[in-house]
Chain A
Amino acid sequence: MKKVLALLLALLMVSALAACGQDGKESSTPSSGTDNSSISGAADESQASTGDTVTIRMGGWGNFADEHEPGTVGMEEAIGVKVEFQKYPTDAAFWDNLPAQIAAKTAPEFIALSNELYLPYINDGLIIPISKYIDDGTITCWDSIGDNVKDIWTIDGEVYGIPFYQTPAVFAVNMDLWNEAGLTEADFPETWDDVLDVCRVFKDELGMTGLCFNTQEFHFTQYCLSFGGGWGLGKTIDTPENAAALQFIINAYHQGYVVTPKELGVGYDGNVVMSGDAAMSTGGTWYVNDFKKNAPDVEVKYLTIPHAEGKDDVSGTFHAPCYALLKGGAHEKEAAMAINYMMNDSHDEALIDIGYIPVNSDLFDTFKERQPELAGLVDAVSKSNGFGYPPAGKKFADALISKMEEALFNSDSTVTGSQIVKELQEEYGE
């Protein structure tokens, strides 16, 4: 009897352990950095179609409610595909978790992806070409997309993503502080030297730092491009323009004209402009929606990125995020259908409302009408550039940030912009 009881008890414990294991498998996705509870068990759900509906998942980071959900309205009824969202807290969490999820076959079928550090993931085969679905007519929106954004996602003749909006980088100005410092619209800076002049005014008049600089590769790249430089996919890291851009940041910081979000304990430059710790920052049109929601009382002007003296024809970067298919998705065709559906007019209009320029040039006038404050950015699109990071992608970005942090956050540092670009060229240049 004792033996039977012991056996039963042990069996119970083993089955409990097995159940824990199954649970762990299902919940592994959220615990690895995602925060959408609705995804639990979605993989199973997608396999067991309910009627004609197939449930798939879309992954990404950022503002899903405004940027992606409007595109899926009516999708289930129209094409029999339901999209669930798997949101990652940051882009770093997204990229850190995605390869493991692909290996474990728990990754979403498609993702929203920016045109920044994407190359290694394409080279490694994590993102698969979508061209065949354009060729077979599953994706019909491709022809209505502007060539400039098409080019970004066409690599070696293969299309890897369907871009859903475009936006040049912006130079955001907190007008409340601007007016408080006695500045007018006539003082809006066109060059980086103008920015320094304005910073002096902020320091003298309000005793504050004028410029926010976030130590992120995105922002470094704005400066480099607007000084006439750029990374050139690793071919042009060590150039006088890039060195001058980085040196400009280092000098301005040590002169007390720049504050970084990092030293304020926040991660996002928009927060610094919202809180009034700085009056200006390089950023993107995502500020429009962020400010509307989180700081509706703060008046912000969006200017084109200033440029270096004598470099009137250059600007900052150009964002064109896309929807892309992930390797190993169980419903590749349905994901392509969903992507095509999401490129609908009402989605375009929802994106215009939050400040994003549509990829279809026919809608440019609508954008200018609905976003008069941002109308000037439409013309800046042609002057803007892709990010052009070297193939090392994140490794390069981390090295750039690390070297610049040494130059900025070590008060004894003698590191110069020239040294940094030289070292980066040696380590990551092509």
Chain B
Amino acid sequence: MWCGLPAGCVRWGDSIYKKGAYIKMTADNTGGKKKKTSKMRRQEAVAGWIFVLPAVLFWLIWFLYPALKAISISFFQYNYATPETNTFIGLANYVRLFQDPKFFTAMGHSFLMVAIVVPLQTILSFAIAVLLNGPIRLKGFYRSSCYIPYVISAMAVTIFFMYFFVKGGPASSFFALLGMENVSWFASTKYAMAFLMIVYVWQQVGFYMVIFIGALQEVPMELYEAAKVDGANAWQRLTKITVPMIKNTTYLVLTFGMINAFQIFDQIAAMSKQSPLGSPSGATSTLVTFLYQQSFSYMDMGYGSAAAVVLFLIIFSLSAVRETAGRRSD
């Protein structure tokens, strides 16, 4: 809508913004209101800061401070129950970390999890979203059914799945027909990770489906109609219109998916029961279970914090790579 401003400009208070830069309204272009506008701008800035203050405080106290504290602890031999014994050891925790085969096993599992689960859940959730975005009956029921697993406790879902994948259970018996061993998957060093991935994907797909449905509804129908007129078939419309049009949402799903998959914990804890986290025999250990064990089970907070810092760097780097790749493809 035309509102008296040049194309692409937005008015905010007494300023006009265009592509990130604002055009200051001086006495020349405002008719001598400099003093008044300056005061108003200051007032608005103060009000703005006051409004964001709670969120900023929250972020500082609950996010920034713990993150900085974790980084600082990672340079210490640190036991928070006996602070008098804490000593600065420089990079020793990191050196130890990169000499620890269990850390590399955990890291390998985390990457495997991300490499398999993220594409799988993205494709599945996209496919379901496309299906449920079409003209089908009981659409709301199906959408709710797909979303419900996401709001159920991960512990409960995992225990529920264990009864399907127990030795002789319906799922393990079915896979035995396909040549796999008929064992309890969650207790097998060979199948525990696959079990974990199945449970995780089943639970997460509904959430990403909702995000995809939201994006699909934003794609203008005119594009499909025009493509139809031009003779494009359903597959072509999907790949040439839908996929490019929801590209940004797909990037979001991939980033969220990656971060969440790196942080999987509850399902592993439920599988491990009273055994060490990552049971059986470390087959489901990840970076998060590794750092939790070191920090809390073994009270080696410095070492656990070093692992947490490495996990943060990995997630940060991968997110940055994805962001850069996304921008380039734009």
**Chain A residues proximal to chain B, CB less than 8 Å:** 2-3, 6-7, 9-10, 13-14, 16-17, 21, 90, 92, 95-100, 102-103, 120, 124-126, 215-216, 260-268, 327, 394-395, 397-398, 401-403, 405-406, 409-413
Contacts and interface: CB of A to CB of B under 8 A. Distances in A.
Interface stretch (B107-115, B136-144, B277-285): B277-285
A10 B275 contact: no
Given A103-B80, A103-B83, A402-B282, A395 B298 contact: yes
A14 B57 contact: yes
A265 B83 CA distance: 39
Nearest to A5: B47
Interface string B26-49: 000000000000000001001100
A265 B162 contact: yes
Interface string B262-304: 0000000000011110011110000000000100111100000
Contact of A100 (B43, B54, B187, B296): B296
B51 interface: yes
B189 interface: yes
Contacts of B47: 2-3, 6
B54 A405 contact: no
Contacts of B299: 99, 120, 124
Contacts, number: 122
Q: How large is the interface on B (under 10, 10 to 19, 20 to 34, 35 or more residues)?
A: 35 or more
Interface centre among B51, B58, B81, B159 (most CB of A within 10 A): B81
Given A96-B296, A126-B81, A394-B297, A7 B50 contact: yes
Contacts of B79: 99, 124
Contacts of B50: 6-7, 9-10
A209 to B, nearest CB: 11
- Main SS at interface, chain A: helix
B181 interface: yes
Contact of A262 (B61, B83, B279): B279
B92 to A, nearest CB: 18
B18 interface: no
Contacts of A406: 189, 280-281
Contact of B57 (A17, A124, A397): A17
Contact of A263 (B43, B80, B82, B187): B187
Given A3-B47, A92-B274, A395-B298, A411 B81 contact: no
6 contacts: A2-B47, A90-B274, A99-B299, A409-B188, A410-B189, A411-B190
A20 to B, nearest CB: 9
B66 to A, nearest CB: 13
B167 interface: yes
Contact of B81 (A2, A3, A99, A266): A99
A13 B54 contact: yes
Given A409-B183, A409-B189, 14 more contacts: A3-B46, A7-B50, A10-B50, A14-B53, A92-B274, A99-B79, A263-B184, A394-B298, A395-B298, A398-B293, A401-B275, A403-B281, A406-B189, A409-B280
Nearest to A214: B274
A99 B80 contact: yes
B163 A411 contact: no
B195 to A, nearest CB: 11
B147 to A, nearest CB: 26
